Amino acid sequence: MSAPISFNPKQQKVIDHIDGSLVVLAPVGTGKTSVLSARVAKAIHSGIAPSRILCLTFTNRAATEMGNRLAQSLPQVCRQLTIKTFHGLCAWMLRLEAQTIGLPADFVVYDDSDCFDILKALSRLEKDSEVRDLIGAIEACKSRAPQTQLSLELTLGDLFTTLDPPARLVAQKYQKVLSNRHALDFADLVFYTRSMLQLMPAVAERWANRFDLVQVDEVQDTHLGEYEIVSHLAGKSRNLALIGDLDQTIYAWRGSEPDVVLTRFKAEFRPTAYDLSLNYRATQTLLQAASAFADQFKERHTQITPSPTCDIGEKIRVHTAANEAQEAQWIAAQIATLAQNTADFRYDRLSILTRTNRRAQCIAAVLMQEGIPCITVEQYQFFLRQEIKDALAYLRFITNPFDTGAFRRLVTTPRREIGQETLRAIYREGQPCGFRLIDLAKPQPFMNDDPLGAVIEGFLNDTLVVFDVETTGTAVGSDIIEIAAVRLVNGDVEDQFHAYIADAADVGDSEQIHGYSNEFLKQNGQPAKAVLASFCQFAGASLLVGHNVG
């Protein structure tokens, strides 16, 4: 068992501040994650229920690190905490409320690569840089949308009025493609969550009462739209903490505006201000150099002070080469010397930073020639590798049969003698009659001459059972808690079925959607085995048609 962490006086003040809002300016290396973890533990020991605590950060890695820290210190209650990224929080909220606000509950989230592929095809732009500029413009429309432009319409037709006409048309087509595929991009997640909280009073009230303590790490990477969400979640408790280092803002190109966020936070919440300046992670030499560099900023927000425990460290060397090839050779020579003079040398503990991707490729080529193992960031991005995206396309299409992008990938990779021209012809000729590319993956259109042929036939001339379910969540493994159905014979209602299930898992947050508490289900329900057996007997050999049954 590891020894308890000893905190300095400034760190301890942040940990002890449980009631009321606070802002903490803390550079990297100041023990920020440990402090925030200890603050959550202190809040729980002070009586705040773990399920009422929300911890937000900007990256999955930081969220995982926070979860691991809390799992060590609070193994019994860690699973009850809500620890998410901003995008993870928004996706979670939207899935819980999807039925209420009109979103498909099975929506998928498209990453930057997916969005790039769609826009490249729609815009016909030749340069990748132009496509990325268009992506940025669309993201800006969503992230900077004023409250008067918020909407729950999936096509967002009126949102792109600031774009020039050609770009506006492409943006509208892009949103239509996402809607048809039951997909949202990262900017959509924040936009629709803001819209939900602004336009749905009952939903907004539920979420305003959901948490008693909210803390947000890496606040320098957030924009005003994201702040509006967390300020709503903490609006009633008034217990919001924002933590970060404004001198490390690197996402301004994606809309982050920490100065605006903190100005509004201070005006609305009147937080207590703290700063953590003692750095424990690097040598004194490196920290002094970093601080001297930051002194050149127009405005300095935080200070870097080496901890007395930090080593002095080696002096920083500056090397000038005649050209990029000689520079790469010099770097290779330095690494080779380190490897020769260091026992159990690990190449994966070295990193080379370059200003451009082209320079990184040049250095990587020289390192490989010299027998020095290396990998570039592009090679390391596992989920962007072609074969991984191909494999994931199958899984995405299995879980979301509306995902045209995934189906297009699995149809064309590996080669199946189905070219892009064939796919375009199917799309072009299928539009007037509502036939979609994804319909080719279903046997019904071929067996019944229509995607809904079997349903039409069952309704008019046979037995059809239409049913719906409520569950404990939106995931595939969620427990069913209610089944309602009607049996139609030749189009006329013959019988109805309705039952609650008593022995399902804890309903948790889903009670906000369906309104059934655990106690209600215990009093009014029956065992799942009996209910499902009765439903199967009710349905018999009928054709089943359902909503929310995926």
Can you list the pairs that 146-151 forms with residues at least 24 positions away whose Cβ atoms lie under 8 Å? 147/194, 147/198, 150/191, 150/194, 150/195, 150/198, 150/199, 151/195, 151/199
Whether the per-residue pLDDT at 521 is higher than 70: the answer is yes
The 8-class DSSP code of residue 3 comes to: P
> Per mean pLDDT, which range of 115-124, 231-240, 404-413, 462-471 is the poorest?
404-413
Positive or negative, the Cα torsion across 505, 509, 510, 516?
Answer: positive
Distance between CA atoms of residues 89 and 212, nearest Å = 16
Distance between CA atoms of residues 411 and 207, nearest Å = 42
Whether the per-residue pLDDT at 520 is higher than 70: the answer is yes
The 8-class DSSP code of residue 383 comes to: G
- pLDDT by residue (tens digit) across 117-175? 899 989 888 888 899 999 999 999 998 899 889 988 877 778 898 899 999 999 999 99
Whether the per-residue pLDDT at 296 is higher than 90: the answer is no
**pTM higher than 0.75 for the full model?**
no
Distance between CA atoms of residues 394 and 42, nearest Å = 45
**What mean pLDDT do residues 337-360 have?**
89
Q: Shortest CA distance to 138 belongs to which of 121, 161, 117, 154? A: 161
Distance between CA atoms of residues 319 and 312, nearest Å = 21
Confidence at 447, pLDDT banded by 50, 70, 90: low
Amino acid at 238: R
Ramachandran bin of 266, using left for φ above 0, alpha for ψ from -120 to 50, beta for the remaining angles: alpha
Return all residues near 179 (Cβ < 8 A) that are at least 6 apart: 154, 155
Would you say 374 and 347 are in contact if contact means Cβ atoms under 8 Å apart?
yes
**What mean pLDDT do residues 395-423 have?**
80
Which pLDDT value is given to residue 253? 58
| Owner of token pair 């259109």 | 445
Confidence at 73, pLDDT banded by 50, 70, 90: confident
Q: Shortest CA distance to 80 belongs to which of 262, 247, 211, 232? A: 211
Amino acid at 394: Y
Strands (E), 335-402: none
Query: To 5 degrees, how large is the angle CA 43–CA 45–CA 46?
Result: 60
- Residue 204's CB is within 10 A of a number of other CB atoms, namely 15
Q: Is 354 helix (H, G, I), strand (E, B) or coil?
A: coil
**What mean pLDDT do residues 463-486 have?**
83
Which pLDDT value is given to residue 1? 40
The mean predicted confidence, pLDDT, of the chain is: 86
- pLDDT by residue (tens digit) across 184-225? 999 999 999 999 999 999 999 999 999 999 999 988 888 889
> Per mean pLDDT, which range of 33-47, 61-75, 380-394, 479-493 is the poorest?
380-394
Amino acid at 375: I
